[in-house]
Amino acid sequence: VSADIQFLPDAVHVVHLNANAAGTAWTGSVDLPRGCGTPDACPIHFALNTNKTALSDVQQWLNPNSRKRPWYRVLTMSGETHPAWWTTLHASGRVTAGRFQIHGIETTHVSANLNVQDGKLRLAGITADVLEGKYHGDWNVNFSKTPAVCAGAGELADISLAAIANAMNDGWVTGTANASYELKGPCPTDFWRSAEGKLHVDVTDALFPHVMIGDGSGALRASHVKGQARLHDGQIE
């Protein structure tokens, strides 16, 4: 929409950027080198912010041909005869969002350091407010493999289990949880079927309204629950 642009012999500085992309408005700055040839040889630096966006909108912007595909196939590139334009980028910077929606779950105050190079994407130092708690983690996507491989690790603190139950439209649990996870697997639709990883959960003041033990005892309560889970071959142990 608008920007102030300064041309120098070896670079272009774009500031006061106001742009519409991926279904939302963005502000920020971009520094682009000049005279370096192909996109992969030109390291771009940026700082971008948006008030609100969603994973589905980002998917459609990166790959317009996927508009009729499910949101979780955002990273599937089967059928393409040439790499998508963004896989040749060499860019790094910081992205912030007031609100970011992932398949019906809304996060707020989102920020991350983003790096794209050689067909690999890294989101480092991701922080967000989610489910009345805090999230911190890192995710890596390797587009040079077929299918693309996703790997992530992170921590959740003071998460409301009631908020999770509400998102599932089933009030099956309340309480507060801390959790940490490590996951790795192919990015397309079978990620959860093929992913390998582990999860540690620590829950306090839990209530399970659907679970009754004995007559007239009421719903099952637990002051403290700790557990570890392993995701392997499509099963949770």
Q: What are residue 194's phi and psi, to 5 degrees?
A: -105, -10
State both tokens at 102.
Answer: 């992932």
Cα–Cα nearest to 110, from 94, 92, 121, 86: 94
Residue type, 37: G
- pLDDT, mean over the chain: 86
> What's the pLDDT tens digit per position in 167-188?
888 889 999 999 999 999 987 6
Cα–Cα nearest to 230, from 196, 194, 190, 180: 196
Q: Which residues contact 15 (CB under 8 A, 6 or more apart)?
A: 3, 4, 6, 29
Question: What is the C-alpha separation between 117 and 50, in angstroms, rounded?
Answer: 23
Label the pairing between strands 120-130 and 24-33: unpaired
> Quick one: pLDDT at residue 21?
85
Q: Is 34 left (phi over 0), alpha (psi -120 to 50) or beta?
A: beta
- The gap between the terminal CA atoms of the chain, to the nearest Å, is 52
- CA triplet 167, 148, 82: central angle to 5 degrees? 120
Of the pLDDT bands very low, low, confident and very high (cuts 50, 70, 90), residue 39 is confident
pLDDT higher than threshold 70 for residue 193: yes
pLDDT higher than threshold 70 for residue 82: no
**The model's pTM:** 0.81
> What's the pLDDT tens digit per position in 41-67?
889 999 999 999 887 777 677 666 655
Residues 135-148 have a mean pLDDT of 88
**Cβ atoms of residues 133 and 162 within 8 Å:** no
Strand partners, 170: none
Of the pLDDT bands very low, low, confident and very high (cuts 50, 70, 90), residue 81 is very low
Cα–Cα nearest to 204, from 178, 228, 229, 180: 178
